[in-house]
Structure 1
Amino acid sequence: MTFEFSRRGILGVFAATTVAAAPVMANAFGLMRGAGNYRRISMYSGRTGESLDTVYWVEGKYVRDALNEINIFMRDWRTGQVIGIDPRTVDIAAASHRLLQTNEPYMMLSGYRSPQTNAMLRSRSAGVARNSLHMAGKAADMRLKSRSVSQMYKAVTACRAGGVGKYSHSNFVHMDCGPLRTWGG
């Protein structure tokens, strides 16, 4: 059995009152297969003032130079440490961004976190996981001015590709390429 997703069909997911209506096959990687011959991510950082708008995947292959740019952009801005960001995390961000149909770049609040930064944040907030996937380059915290946290949460959840956390009071959504799970919804 083959599933084919049209733009109108994907939008129908959001017209429903619950994300449970989304097809089981609708995950970030399946959604991105129908996205064409390239994948793009656009982000900016309020912390560093940097922006990134790059095509990171072309005709079935990740673009190494673009991934290197993403690694540097998503570094721990407090320490300057850079590690390899898992491309699946970028795929989840790009797929959910496509579902939200906006040209506004994500505001990235947190990408990679060094163990020192994670420990410091944990000492200030109970909401920071001891073994956060941020420390493995497998998570990102994102915000959009043009979309609500609930809209973003539904889009990332519809990707069915990892963990999704809804932080309404702090106005951001956590997305990661770890096991399927949700919280805050």
Structure 2
Amino acid sequence: MTKSNGGFTRRGVLGAFAATLVTAAPTYTNAAGFLRGSGDIRRIRMMSGRTGERIDMIYWVEGDYIKDAVSEVNRFMRDWRTNQVKTIDLRTVDILAAAHNLMDVNEPYMLLSGYRSPQTNAMLRARSRGVAKNSLHMVGQAADIRLNSRSVGQIARAAGACNGGGVGRYSKSNFVHMDCGPVRAWGR
């Protein structure tokens, strides 16, 4: 890449910009195009009611994931009960971002569960029939989220339009499960 007069590369400037909070991002017209790489940036906005943390960042620019941003996503989506961090499958992050863009909403996702350690998954499984023994949460391939401004049905339809993995509706508990596993849907 050629350098500008100031000695900075375009990618270097974009990488530095991506590590900070941003206030604008494009709206994509369809998730399939988004997941194939259309557009120049991908952005993720989430908050955690458990830890009080928030992220709002560009994590992908012009075909490349930004290492520092991806590390921050991994830390944010950690098992908050054990503080264990796992590498989150970026296909799941892409599905989250694409579904968010399809809903044309600025509100960040409320992350209920990202990575789950085997110990946390076993504890939750003992409390609820809805927790899978071999949950994709344990390998960093799933997230449970909600939005106050959208219904479970609206979020699930947006996630399903991405055609990138599993989508579970948990209407009674007011959240949607998204993962990058086999394409499937369940729940009401």
Query: What secondary structure is seen at the aligned counterpart in 2 of 1:48?
Result: coil
Deviation, structure 1 residue 27 = 7.0
What is the aligned-residue RMSD (CA, Å)? 1.4
Q: Distance in 1 between matches of 2:160 and 2:151?
A: 14
Query: What secondary structure is seen at the aligned counterpart in 1 of 2:99?
Result: helix
The 5 A counterparts of 1:129-168 are 129-168=132-171
Q: Distance in 1 between matches of 2:177 and 2:80?
A: 18
Gaps of 5+ in 2: 1-27
Gaps of 5+ in 1: 1-5, 11-24
Q: Which residue of 2 aligns with 1:69?
A: 72
Q: Distance in 1 between matches of 2:113 and 2:41?
A: 25
> Higher relative contact order at CA 8 Å, sep ≥6: structure 1 or structure 2?
1
2:174 to 152, 160, 171: 171
TM-score by length of 2: 0.83
Q: Deviations over 1:1-24 (max 9, x none)?
A: xxxxx83xx4xxxxxxxxxxxxxx
TM-score by length of 1: 0.84
Q: Deviations over 1:40-59 (max 9, x none)?
A: 00000000000001110011
Q: Distance in 2 between matches of 1:75 and 1:127?
A: 21
Q: How many residues align?
A: 161
Q: Distance in 1 between matches of 2:33 and 2:112?
A: 24
Query: What secondary structure is seen at the aligned counterpart in 1 of 2:32?
Result: coil
Q: Distance in 1 between matches of 2:83 and 2:108?
A: 22
Query: What secondary structure is seen at the aligned counterpart in 2 of 1:107?
Result: strand
Q: Distance in 1 between matches of 2:35 and 2:159?
A: 12
Preserved CA contact (<8 Å) 1:89 1:176: yes
